[in-house]
Structure 1
Amino acid sequence: MKVLLLLSIGCFLSDPIFAIYGGCMSYSSNPSSVSGHIQVKLFFLNGWKLHKGPCYNCSKSDEGYIVTARRKQYIIDKNDKEVFGIWKLEVELKGTEVSKQAIITDEVNDHIEDTVLMVNENEGWELESSEISLDIDMTNVPGRRFDIMFINTNDNILTNMSHSVQVVLQVKVDPHDRTDTKKPNNSPVVLVKPYYSVEFGHKYVIPIPVIDNDDDFIECEISSFIEAGSLSSSVKYLRERKVVNIDNKECTLTINLESTGFNVGDTFALPVTVKDYSRKDIVSASIHTAYVNPIGRVTALMYFKVTNKTEPPQFVSPTPPNNQEYTVYVGGDFHVSVYAKPKHTARRIVKFNFLRRDGIRVNQTTIQKDKWDPLAVYISMKWSPVKSDIGKHIICANAEDSFGISTVELHCFKINVKVNKFRPQPSILGKPYFASFPEIQDIVCPLGSYCRFPVYAATNSPGGIKSIQSTQMSVENVTIQYSQHVINGTIDTKVAQVEFLASEPGPRQICLNATDIVAWTVRCLIVVVRRPDPCALKPCHYNNRCTAVSDNSDFQCICDELHEGPLCEKG
């Protein structure tokens, strides 16, 4: 399928669906099988008024299912290819050039797959994850970035807005190879709810989970001007009243309804722009100075409704913190238990949702009772990543009580799946041995993350390996779970799923004792716990260059001829 750039102007047909609440887009790009083209894969998170989205009369029983056929049937029934909105492609302009937009709605409709992530029947919305593959003719975008835009109209007339508001969700695509990765750019990936019920008189802190598979530095900001589009005046009102604020670097949104001009029943929508910056100077479609010039950007849109007292359920301990990071090496498992309890004692938790940004179903248990708290329950999930999963992922949880009220925010986890290097080791006659054992620099985990990796042990003695345990020589508090694995089709091994919280930076020693029925073997490995990039804080004034030392323990500012001082602060 080819996307041609044609000068055209789109408008909605006579009976569009004004039912979009919010969502966001991200993209990745790769070489296309079509000569002179590049394949752009869009991941479109889209939330709709219940029964008005691509699911076509959705219910909770549809969660986790692909509903593309229903989308196509709805388009046929309405005889309107733009019934779910318009898709456009616009090349980045230079100088006095006039905007040229291509309508690509037909191509999107032909190459989209929709999966239902979540349905909230009480609040009346549904959330789909859509994957779209487009082949872009590069001769029409020579040396340029371009925007791919989805355009629809918000479901309801927002408070302080006299008319329905046009919604624009977009990504800026830079399809040219970066000089650092030698590959095209990948945009930031965001996962947000499209619809939030927020109680009047309350204040909320909502983390926005963001990952980037190029390991770029990420910043979030409340959209303004062109990026806010028709919501510009509403965003200005929200900021002037101090209703909304955002921590740019942490990507944490604050909604303050303690003292505002809003009343119960009022609604507002908030667009957030997420930008990615390279950590070193690079060239792609243009020159990007590290931490200064964004490579791309995506827009997320969230819809808020002010309610009376609803007493939504809450996530509780021992659930790991929201936005907790995990580093998982292939062969290791990611698993987590999420606990929640109702705020109102007459209610109970009846449902959990685990959401993956790519729409893939999550392997989860049934709801279990917490033995310490009679109101709390928990659910566990497990994921065993394979080589095709290498990269960064977001998995989020939502809880719902018996009154149909959901937790306000999603509770999310960021998982970085890394390649596990196979390091074969010789067998030891009459003793256990480690069939594969990591070398230094094989296991590198960021400070503050849970680090999980496999270690393989085998023996020639009957009965196999009995246990693999951490010894007193380990400087980390390690937990170990077991599984079985066959290496090279012949070596039957016991796998130690080793996990620890990377709380101290630098090289960290972990020693493991493998035991069979007659002997034991101890080996030690070094795990590197990496500090965060000090240049991410932009310590050098006036956009002067920051260079971090190899272990991120310090940095140096390289000043231009107009500035001096340790931080280039003088000049």
Structure 2
Amino acid sequence: MGRMQAIIMILCCLTKEIRTSQTGQFIGASMSFTIINGTNGFEVQLDVISGWVLGLGPCGINCSRDSINSDTKATREEVLQKQGNSRFFGNWSVEFKTSSMKSSQVKDINQVVYSSLNESVVDVSENARWEQVWTVVRYPMIPDTPYMDIGFEGSSWRNLSLQGDNVTWHLQMKATPQLRSDIGKPNNSPQAISRPLYRLLLDKDNHIRIATIDPDGDQVICSISEYIEVGFLSNHLLPNISVTKDCIITIPSNRTLGYHNGSIGAVAITVSDYNVSGVTYGQRLTPFSAIGVQFLVQFLDNISEPFFIFPTPEGNHRFNIYSGTTWKIDVYAKPISPALIDHFTCLGRQHEDVKIINVKSTSVPNHLNVKMATMTWTPFHTDVGKHILCVGVEDSYG
């Protein structure tokens, strides 16, 4: 019997310090959901990877790189007590309408969400002053409803010089609980992964590619978030920002458009999944579901950050591997002199147990101070499907 395949995508990530006034704690998030069989029927499992100002996020007051992979139960409570605000890390709600209702209803689900919360630290940048955590919660499916809009919102974004101070955040996901005729079960949302911060050059057409997959094999299409799905930011888009259907974001950062050295803004996109055959409703495609992805961008005259070099695979590279075998890949990174490569990180969108081993200095023609790291992962039968891995490197400057 043939072995099953798992598909991996790699998106190269770099980090670097930002220096700015801090008036908020939120630095973006990406959301997704999976429909699972719970004790009392179907449940929605919500996965949120969120970024926060270091020391103001769930990782806690004393968060550091040593906190990576740690549970946040105690540290989250510590921050909440210090802030004196039980909803400092946001509010959860669901909007729905059943056949017996004349209009939709919005329901506060904070108690259910926070009572079932599992959360861990996935990355920390001490110099750039941010942390990233992974939150997993469950909520029971609401019967007899054609949709569930699950919202996550709060106050406030870290200082957005291009959009304002004390800006509220809002993300939401649209889930459709009905069974699909093609797969015989409810739809699962697409998945995406992004960095909490991208540093971009001024006076250049900057491009950011967001890696996406769909566990059901659906067509994935990206768009700029609009209207209620993004809250305040719907009327405060970055000048001339655009996104292609295959999730390439373009930001022309001309000074004439208001961009300047050190300016910071928030980007919000929506990732939707559609029938692969392109079935339309009227004149437009109708998505099965939609999720939100948001992050910060900073614009600078000059950027000096480490970068991956050959023979590292290019960003968004795809690998085919077999369950039960070990996938192994070497990545090579070079700093901008006189910095030195500090450490490598790897984030998997489905809690993949990727190990980083054999980190060492290595000789590469025409390159100095190069370090190499080996990544390994052994997927099993339960991992069959598509996966996203995000590889990062940080130098001694941050």
Question: Shorter chain as normaliser: what TM range?
Answer: 0.7 to 0.9
Once the two structures are superposed, residues 237-292 of structure 1 have per-residue CA deviations (whole angstroms, 9 ceiling, x without a partner) of 522xxxx222212x11223324442112321111001010012488xxxx979992
Partner of 1:332: 325
Note if 1:28 corresponds to 2:24: no
Partner of 2:20: none
CA distance in 1 between partners of 2:181 and 2:159 (Å): 46
Aligned 8 A contact 2:28 2:294 in 1? yes
Note if 1:53 corresponds to 2:53: no
- Please show how residues 10-29 of structure 1 align to structure 2 within 5 Å: 18-29=24-35
Aligned 8 A contact 1:200 1:306 in 2? yes
Alignment CA distance shift 1:281-1:263 (3 Å):
closer
Note if 1:105 corresponds to 2:98: no
CA distance in 2 between partners of 1:290 and 1:184 (Å): 25
Code of the aligned partner of 2:380: V
Aligned 8 A contact 2:49 2:132 in 1? yes
- Please show how residues 195-274 of structure 1 align to structure 2 within 5 Å: 195-235=197-237, 237-239=238-240, 244-249=241-246, 251-259=247-255, 260-274=257-271
Once the two structures are superposed, residues 515-553 of structure 1 have per-residue CA deviations (whole angstroms, 9 ceiling, x without a partner) of xxxxxxxxxxxxxxxxxxxxxxxxxxxxxxxxxxxxxxx
Code of the aligned partner of 2:394: E
Aligned 8 A contact 1:81 1:106 in 2? no
- Please show how residues 290-329 of structure 1 align to structure 2 within 5 Å: 292-329=285-322
Aligned 8 A contact 1:280 1:289 in 2? no
CA distance in 2 between partners of 1:29 and 1:329 (Å): 25
Alignment CA distance shift 1:288-1:128 (3 Å):
farther
Alignment CA distance shift 1:154-1:200 (3 Å):
farther
Which of 95, 105, 117 does residue 90 from structure 1 map onto? 95
Which of 334, 342, 348 does residue 340 from structure 2 map onto? 348
Aligned 8 A contact 1:278 1:291 in 2? no
Partner of 1:39: 43
Q: Which runs of no fewer than 5 residues in structure 1 stay unpaired?
A: 1-16, 405-571
Partner of 1:464: none
Partner of 1:121: 126
Alignment CA distance shift 1:331-1:258 (3 Å):
same
Partner of 1:186: 188
CA distance in 2 between partners of 1:91 and 1:314 (Å): 46
Aligned 8 A contact 1:288 1:295 in 2? no
Corresponding residue SS for 1:226: helix
**Length, aligned pairs only:** 372
CA distance in 2 between partners of 1:148 and 1:107 (Å): 13
Partner of 2:149: 147
Structure 1 residue 48, shift from structure 2 partner: 0.5
CA distance in 2 between partners of 1:93 and 1:307 (Å): 50
Once the two structures are superposed, residues 379-426 of structure 1 have per-residue CA deviations (whole angstroms, 9 ceiling, x without a partner) of 11111111121222111111111111xxxxxxxxxxxxxxxxxxxxxx
Structure 1 residue 68, shift from structure 2 partner: 2.5
CA distance in 2 between partners of 1:389 and 1:289 (Å): 37
Aligned 8 A contact 2:57 2:79 in 1? no
Partner of 1:505: none
Once the two structures are superposed, residues 143-180 of structure 1 have per-residue CA deviations (whole angstroms, 9 ceiling, x without a partner) of 41111111112333423545522211111111221000
Corresponding residue SS for 1:374: coil
Code of the aligned partner of 1:126: E
CA distance in 2 between partners of 1:325 and 1:289 (Å): 35
Corresponding residue SS for 1:51: coil
Code of the aligned partner of 1:266: S
Partner of 2:363: 371
Note if 1:81 corresponds to 2:73: no
Code of the aligned partner of 1:102: K
Alignment CA distance shift 1:230-1:113 (3 Å):
same
Code of the aligned partner of 1:38: F
Aligned 8 A contact 2:163 2:265 in 1? no
Structure 1 residue 349, shift from structure 2 partner: 1.1
CA distance in 2 between partners of 1:253 and 1:93 (Å): 37
Partner of 1:167: 169
Alignment CA distance shift 1:383-1:197 (3 Å):
same
Alignment CA distance shift 1:117-1:202 (3 Å):
farther
Higher relative contact order (CA 8 A, sep 6+): 2
CA distance in 1 between partners of 2:243 and 2:239 (Å): 12
Partner of 1:411: none
Note if 1:393 corresponds to 2:387: yes
Code of the aligned partner of 2:316: N
Corresponding residue SS for 2:262: coil
Once the two structures are superposed, residues 298-345 of structure 1 have per-residue CA deviations (whole angstroms, 9 ceiling, x without a partner) of 010111122342411111111112111122221222222222112x22
The root-mean-square deviation of aligned C-alpha atoms, in Å, is 2.6
Corresponding residue SS for 2:269: strand
Structure 1 residue 358, shift from structure 2 partner: 3.2
Structure 1 residue 87, shift from structure 2 partner: 0.5
Partner of 1:421: none
Corresponding residue SS for 2:28: strand
Structure exhibiting the larger radius of gyration computed from Cα positions: 1
Aligned 8 A contact 1:23 1:301 in 2? yes
Partner of 1:410: none
Code of the aligned partner of 2:46: L
CA distance in 1 between partners of 2:286 and 2:225 (Å): 17
Corresponding residue SS for 1:109: helix
CA distance in 1 between partners of 2:277 and 2:204 (Å): 42
Aligned 8 A contact 1:81 1:105 in 2? no
Aligned 8 A contact 1:288 1:294 in 2? no
Code of the aligned partner of 1:253: I
Once the two structures are superposed, residues 81-104 of structure 1 have per-residue CA deviations (whole angstroms, 9 ceiling, x without a partner) of 31211100111589x954411111
Code of the aligned partner of 1:22: G
CA distance in 1 between partners of 2:284 and 2:380 (Å): 32
- Please show how residues 338-487 of structure 1 align to structure 2 within 5 Å: 338-342=331-335, 344-372=336-364, 373-404=367-398
Structure 1 residue 76, shift from structure 2 partner: 4.9
Code of the aligned partner of 1:159: S
Note if 1:275 corresponds to 2:272: yes
Code of the aligned partner of 1:121: E
CA distance in 1 between partners of 2:282 and 2:34 (Å): 22
Aligned 8 A contact 1:64 1:360 in 2? no
